[in-house]
Structure 1
Amino acid sequence: GALPILHGSQGCSSFALVLLVRHFKHMVPLQTTAMDQIATVVGGADFLEKALVKLKARTWPRLIGICTTAVAETRDEDIAGDIINAKGARPRKLIDTEVVLARTPDFAGAMEEGWSKAVTAMIEAITLPGTQDRDPAKVVILPGSNMTVADVEHLRETVESFGLTPLILPDVSGGPDEAVRDRWIPIARGGAKVEHIR
């Protein structure tokens, strides 16, 4: 599973969560580093490290995607360095989890740019170029932010009808329906597996 984290203040994250819940009509797995006023001024490295360790211990995600907010970006923090330091300080607690950073402040670009940055960050952080033989039956599809769950499912079916295996990144097929369950699960299930992305 995967877990998105918004690195920023509680207010920024709450606003984004409210918008997503209103859109999908149910809770979505989204966490926050919940920086307070002091962290906003002096830096949020401690909040980021605590969030990574705490969420890893509670949910055991294979992938944690960190999206930055304007609060973290305005200070021009070295968030990539903070992630490296957190993994170095607590290697056993963050083992077997990929941590991907997408710098997505709301003052730079729109949804399409944020989507592109997130997909690019996943590819750059997870893939291991040149370590595997090419599989001629495998097709990589990078759907745009404008594609719906039904669009992605149709793409998958079309590629499979040719006897090929699609790897869709990000794979939102089954998206909102996948999240509706009898009980709350704080991690996104389904989608492309980290092992397949590598």
Structure 2
Amino acid sequence: MATVVTPNKAVIVNPLKQSQTLGAVLAFLGLKGMIPLLHGSQGCTAFAKVILVRHFREAIPLSTTAMTEVTTILGGEDNVEQAILTLVEKVEPEIIGLCTTGLTETRGDDMDGILKDFRKSHPELKELPIILVSSPDFKGALQDGYAAAVESTLKELPVAGETRPSQITILVSSAFTPGDIQQIKEIVSAFGLIPVVVPDLSASLDGHLDESYSPITGGGTTLTQLRKIGSSAFTLALGESMRGGAEILEEAFAIPYEVFTELTGLEAVDNFLQALVDISGNPVPEKYRRQRRQLQDAMLDTHFFFGRKRVALALEPDLLWSTACFFQSMGAEIHSAVTTTRSPLLEKISTEQVIVGDFEDFEKSAVGSDLLVSNSHAANIAKNLEIPLYRQGLPIYDRLGVGQYTKVGYFGTMQILFEIGNLFLKEEEAKSNYLNG
């Protein structure tokens, strides 16, 4: 059991955490026909947009209520109304995701009241879903905002209906890439099940070219699919932060659920596939039986390089947990663990302590590690400490194809086994050449 520590510092040095607002926007980008609308200043929106554009290297649909000093003091009701009307006129969204920011949360805008007044004033837009999520950036982190957006969506859109035995809802946390989600959909579909993924970033941020530019998301979970979630036979919550969403569906529609905190590693994938066998009544397809045997061979080939290695992690809680479990399953030790926000998983990580802190805490605690695992902001730390960095999380702006990174399933586990194994191998060769030189 780890001790969770929050350093008592006067100031954050080199922040690790990303804002709740950014997390909410990321979740909304997985819904088709969506445009996220940030209720705050233009700077808040520009900051989120830059991070997402640099990470995915895609056009990111994002809008703002453009609050100024005057409107912040007098109230943002008119800005919200005008922003929604402008979006309806200019881009014709199917859904609007209205996210609060630190500016408007600090002022204390009555967002529920503002939306209620808007609905009264514009009955012609009563069919337009507007999903409100509270996502202040002065507390919580990306994972919290992402989960809040998913929960708000599940409270707002699904409707009750006759149960469809083959339809299951899959709630995916911020720990999963578009490539991961695509792999998960393929696995679930192979069992004869129909997955409704929320949010489905694999259809919106997977890096594909459309015939024409769209100012709203061109792919993702459709409004029709979101409405039909109440008819699903089961919910698979992938990531501890998705437990709240699964509980919402259970309470509203009596849909049973199961939470999978990781999908990387032999045992984790075995458990996931067994759940799909139980739900569908179908056996594991031969394709995945063969992939399992390939993974076993890959583990034999690479375990020499993982054994007793000391790994330092700086990631969001869900991703921290799954990554730590993977390394420990290969015989590595978690030398240091730093994260952004509280989670029930943190105390369960097999290490001495988990720090809820920043990159300064990470750099100090990572001394003596064999490998760093974090986003691109840790590159300078890796250089200073002369320790290799394996990039995970968001943002990753100094590598290509991060939207297609896959670390789930037998295939994804093999991929990262070889990628990280090659990093260890390269380090050993470098030390050998130095000693022999």
Q: Given the two structures, how large is their TM-score scaled by the length of structure 2?
A: 0.43
1:35 match: 67
Once the two structures are superposed, the pairs formed by residues 112-151 of structure 1 within 5 Å of their partners are 112-128=143-159, 131-151=160-180
Distance 2:208 2:102 in 1: 28
Say whether residues 1:153 and 2:182 are aligned partners.
yes
Q: Which amino acid aligns with 1:83?
A: L
1:173 match: 202
Q: 1:54 to 1:179 in 2, by over 3 A?
A: farther
* Equivalent position SS for 2:213: coil
Q: Which among 60, 67, 76 is matched to residue 99 of structure 2?
A: 67
**Residue 62 of structure 1, CA deviation:** 1.3
Would you say the 8 A contact 1:28–1:179 is kept in 2? no
The share of aligned pairs that are identical, in percent, is: 37
Would you say the 8 A contact 1:140–1:166 is kept in 2? yes
Q: Which among 96, 104, 108 is matched to residue 76 of structure 1?
A: 108
Q: Which among 134, 138, 145 is matched to residue 103 of structure 1?
A: 134
Say whether residues 1:54 and 2:74 are aligned partners.
no
Q: Which amino acid aligns with 2:41?
A: S
Distance 1:48 1:180 in 2: 32
Distance 2:209 2:138 in 1: 32
Would you say the 8 A contact 1:9–1:40 is kept in 2? no
Q: Which amino acid aligns with 1:184?
A: Y
Would you say the 8 A contact 1:178–1:189 is kept in 2? no
Q: Deviations over 1:3-37 (max 9, x none)?
A: 11111011111111122222222321011111111
* Equivalent position SS for 2:109: coil
Q: Deviations over 1:110-161 (max 9, x none)?
A: 0110011000000001122xx3011110010000101001110111111110
Larger radius of gyration: 2
Would you say the 8 A contact 2:178–2:206 is kept in 1? no
Q: 1:68 to 1:100 in 2, by over 3 A?
A: same
Tell me: higher relative CO, structure 1 or 2? Use CA pairs within 8 A at least 6 residues apart.
1
Q: Which amino acid aligns with 2:65?
A: T
More off after superposition, 131-140 vs 14-23: 14-23
Q: Which among 58, 74, 91 is matched to residue 26 of structure 1?
A: 58
Q: Deviations over 1:56-108 (max 9, x none)?
A: 1111111100111101100111112111211210121x243100001001112
2:42 match: 10
Distance 1:43 1:9 in 2: 13
Alignment: residue pair count = 195
Q: Which amino acid aligns with 1:192?
A: T
Distance 1:183 1:191 in 2: 17
Distance 2:93 2:207 in 1: 16
**Residue 179 of structure 1, CA deviation:** 6.5
Would you say the 8 A contact 2:179–2:206 is kept in 1? no
More off after superposition, 170-179 vs 13-22: 170-179
Would you say the 8 A contact 2:133–2:148 is kept in 1? yes
Distance 1:41 1:152 in 2: 43
Distance 1:119 1:21 in 2: 21
Would you say the 8 A contact 2:37–2:96 is kept in 1? yes
Would you say the 8 A contact 2:77–2:114 is kept in 1? yes
Distance 2:185 2:172 in 1: 11
* Equivalent position SS for 2:200: coil
List structure 1 runs of 4+ shifted beyond 6 angstroms: none
Q: 1:80 to 1:56 in 2, by over 3 A?
A: same
Q: Which has the higher helix share?
A: 2
Distance 1:147 1:166 in 2: 16
**Residue 190 of structure 1, CA deviation:** 1.4
Q: Which amino acid aligns with 2:145?
A: G
Would you say the 8 A contact 1:62–1:194 is kept in 2? yes
Q: Given the two structures, how large is their TM-score scaled by the length of structure 1?
A: 0.93
